[in-house]
């Protein structure tokens, strides 16, 4: 998937059995906020949104032929119906929460990993490790360089442990 940048477009005819998807969000940014709002609130969009509840009810009635995933999706639609189409109210409202999801992904991954430790000591060791990595990154230094230097120092008998700290790199 790309934004239609010419370099990516060049590859379209070169790659066999490849579908080149174009990002819909890039089409959206070509419009003004007022244009987006008018389209979101226009009669065609309104007609589509008004038809969805009937289709939703029809799909839910025939739950036997649906997978659990499809049923969960339908239930989500029903449960959050009131908020799902609020993006139509204002042209500047985003269609998704991708930005927020991407910003919290590292924390969620760490949380999921931390439930799989056999002991408190292992969880604590992981917390220290993640803290050191975060500190190195905040200093805009290479994590690989830091650990390489740190372990070389430990193996060669370095006694000045402060010189092995991330800030000392």
Asked whether the beta carbons of 169 and 138 are under 8 A apart, the reply is: no
CA distance 114 to 129: 12
pLDDT < 50 stretches in the chain: none
Count of structural domains within the chain: 3
Whether residue 133 sits in one domain with residue 89: no
Q: What percent of the chain has pLDDT over 70?
A: 80
87-124 core/surface letters (b: 16 or more CB in 10 A; e: else)? ebeebeeeeeeeeeeeeeeeeeeeeeeeeeeeeeeeee
pLDDT for res 57: 87
Residue 51 pLDDT: 93
Domain match, 106 and 156 both: yes
CA distances 50 to 47, 53, 92, 93, Å, are 5, 7, 22, 20
Q: Which domain, by its residues, includes 154? A: 98-168
pLDDT on residue 105:
76
Rounded Cα–Cα distance for residues 110 and 33 (Å): 37
Residues 123 and 163 in one domain: yes
Assess whether 6 and 45 both reside in one domain: no
Total-model pTM: 0.49
Regarding whether 102 and 66 lie in a shared domain, the answer is: no
Residue 47: the pLDDT is 94
């Amino acid at each position: 998937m790309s934004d239609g940048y010419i370099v990516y477009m060049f590859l379209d005819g070169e790659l066999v059995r490849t579908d080149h998807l174009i990002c819909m969000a890039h089409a959206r940014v070509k419009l003004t906020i007022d244009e987006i709002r008018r389209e979101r609130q226009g009669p065609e969009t309104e007609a589509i949104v008004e038809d969805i509840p009937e289709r939703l009810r029809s799909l839910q009635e025939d739950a036997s032929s649906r997978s659990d995933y499809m049923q969960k999706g339908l239930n989500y639609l029903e449960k959050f119906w009131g908020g799902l189409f609020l993006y139509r109210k204002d042209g500047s409202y985003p269609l998704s929460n991708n930005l927020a999801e991407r910003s919290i992904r590292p924390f969620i991954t760490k949380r999921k990993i931390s439930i799989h430790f056999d002991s408190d000591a292992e969880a604590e060791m992981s917390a220290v490790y993640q803290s050191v990595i975060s500190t190195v990154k905040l200093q805009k230094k290479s994590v690989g360089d830091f650990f390489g230097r740190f372990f070389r120092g430990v193996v060669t008998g370095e006694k000045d442990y402060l010189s092995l700290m991330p800030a000392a790199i």
